[in-house]
Structure 1
Amino acid sequence: MAWSTRELAELAGTSLRAVRHYHDEGLLPEPPRSSNGYKHYGVRHLIQLMHIRRLVDLGVPLAEIPTLDPSTDSYREVLEALASETTAEIDRLVKVRGEITQLLEVPGAWEMSSGTTGSTDGDFLTVLSRVLDEDSLQAWQRVGESIPDSQVLADFENLPEEASAEMREDVAARMADAVRDGLAAAPELDDPGFGEGTSRSLGTRSIGEALAELYSPAQLRVLVRCHELLSAE
């Protein structure tokens, strides 16, 4: 008993359009026809169609299927290449799933987080993550995590535009005290390295532009003064 095109497609778990396309591409031979012109497919056609579908599902391009012979080395090479691509895609998806989980657990979280209550520092760390190398970025994060005085961070974050020189000096001095030990334990930041493909010029300019855009003039004065206090020691 022979099968019609529709029946063959149903048995193979594919569509009429796919069967016709495989005929057009020369992947599936045309079956004999009955006197009324209807195609009659047999077991060999079904097995061959299922083989084509399996290779397609594995990611083998249609153009390569006619040349694949399981008895040749090229057949194994194609499958090994697909296995490597699949492993890389799985790794990517695992990373994506982790990032999605992080966003679900902490709504609104960015790729990088400073651990503070505001988003400005998080945005700044995100910029750093694009320009610094891994060692320098981790060193910067360690410094932030080592700050024991959360009040000075809050005072810096809420520093008013019209802050007096005395107020700025107070915040700068307390911030210098807060980061001193952390900086001593992070020598990488004495001469931070930049990521692969990021020139020192672009990295330095990007950090400067991020500071200017994310922090107010009063906050920038505090950061400059903090740096001066630490450098003078």
Structure 2
Amino acid sequence: MAWSTRELAELAGTSLRAVRHYHDEGLLPEPPRSSNGYKHYGVRHLIQLMHIRRLVDLGVPLAEIPSLDPSADSYREVLEALASETTAEIERLVVVRDEIAQLLEEPGTWEMSSGTTGSTDGDFLTVLSRVLDEDSLQAWRRVGESIPDAQVLADFENLPEEASAEMREDVAARMAEAVRDGLAAAPELDDPGFGEGTSRALGTRSIGEALAELYSPAQLRVLVRCHELLSAE
């Protein structure tokens, strides 16, 4: 039995170019040639080519294939390493799949993850998600969710830039009252942790810059006053 290069490639489910490349790399031995110069491949070539294809499809680098002997320990070690990498990739893809499902079920979550919430508080929370560690971020979320007075949040969000000192004091006092219990239940925020790869200096500066960019001077004065009221207790 003899196959041409094209027939061998077709049987193995690969291309002429791949077969020639495997020859050039020394992975597939050259077959004998007929008197007219055409290559004649046999069953052994097909089996070897299919084995090469299988290893390549599994992610084994071409450079490692010549040294892989199925009867050697190194062969098993390479495959076990690939199995571990594949397991890690599957776990990553499961997370990606779950996030996609969440976005499909709750389109609004895309706004938070993309940083285009259109909400000042949402944009600030997005910045926090990039600099705080998970425990501190979740503590911050709990504080926000525990605020019983939704009106004070609306008043803060709609605070006019020309707000009087009396108006700012009123909002600050009500805000301090609204977050007091939540902060007491979130000791993580007394000394917040920062995410992996984010230094305390960068994290602190980023939070400060986000506050300055996202909130008006009047709102910043309210936040400062709110902090003063809570610190004085």
Instruction: Report if TM-score (shorter chain) is over 0.5.
Output: yes
8 Å CA contact 1:168, 1:222 repeated in 2: yes
8 Å CA contact 2:169, 2:222 repeated in 1: yes
Name 2:168's counterpart in structure 1: 168
Distance across 2 between alignment mates of 1:195 and 1:93: 22
Distance across 2 between alignment mates of 1:111 and 1:182: 25
* SS of match in other structure, 1:33: coil
1:17-54 deviations in Å (ceiling 9; x for gaps): 10111011110111111222211111111100000000
Moved more, 35-44 or 46-55: 35-44
TM-score by length of 1: 0.92
1:139-191 deviations in Å (ceiling 9; x for gaps): 11110111122222122112222222222222212211211110110111112
Moved more, 21-30 or 99-108: 99-108
Moved more, 167-176 or 51-60: 167-176
8 Å CA contact 1:176, 1:226 repeated in 2: yes
Moved more, 112-121 or 153-162: 112-121
Moved more, 50-59 or 116-125: 116-125
1:203-230 deviations in Å (ceiling 9; x for gaps): 2111111111111111111111111121
Alpha-carbon spacing, 1:87–1:111, altered in 2? closer, same or farther (3 Å): farther
Name 2:68's counterpart in structure 1: 68
**How far is 1:133 from its partner?**
2.1
8 Å CA contact 2:172, 2:222 repeated in 1: yes
Alpha-carbon spacing, 1:221–1:116, altered in 2? closer, same or farther (3 Å): farther
Alpha-carbon spacing, 1:130–1:66, altered in 2? closer, same or farther (3 Å): same
1:51-103 deviations in Å (ceiling 9; x for gaps): 00000000000010000011111111111111111112122222222233333
TM-score by length of 2: 0.92
8 Å CA contact 2:33, 2:40 repeated in 1: yes
* SS of match in other structure, 2:111: coil
Identical counterparts, % of pairs: 95
**How far is 1:110 from its partner?**
4.5
Q: Which runs of 5+ in 2 are unaligned?
A: none
Distance across 2 between alignment mates of 1:221 and 1:96: 41
* SS of match in other structure, 1:130: helix
The runs of at least 4 consecutive aligned structure 1 residues that moved more than 6 Å come to: 113-117
Alpha-carbon spacing, 1:122–1:227, altered in 2? closer, same or farther (3 Å): same
Name 1:43's counterpart in structure 2: 43
8 Å CA contact 1:132, 1:194 repeated in 2: yes
**How far is 1:111 from its partner?**
7.7
Distance across 2 between alignment mates of 1:138 and 1:41: 64
Distance across 2 between alignment mates of 1:108 and 1:79: 42
8 Å CA contact 1:115, 1:145 repeated in 2: no
Distance across 1 between alignment mates of 2:189 and 2:83: 41
8 Å CA contact 1:111, 1:126 repeated in 2: no
8 Å CA contact 2:115, 2:123 repeated in 1: no
Distance across 2 between alignment mates of 1:182 and 1:115: 25
8 Å CA contact 2:31, 2:40 repeated in 1: yes
Aligned pair count reads 233
8 Å CA contact 2:180, 2:230 repeated in 1: yes
**How far is 1:118 from its partner?**
5.4
Distance across 2 between alignment mates of 1:123 and 1:109: 12
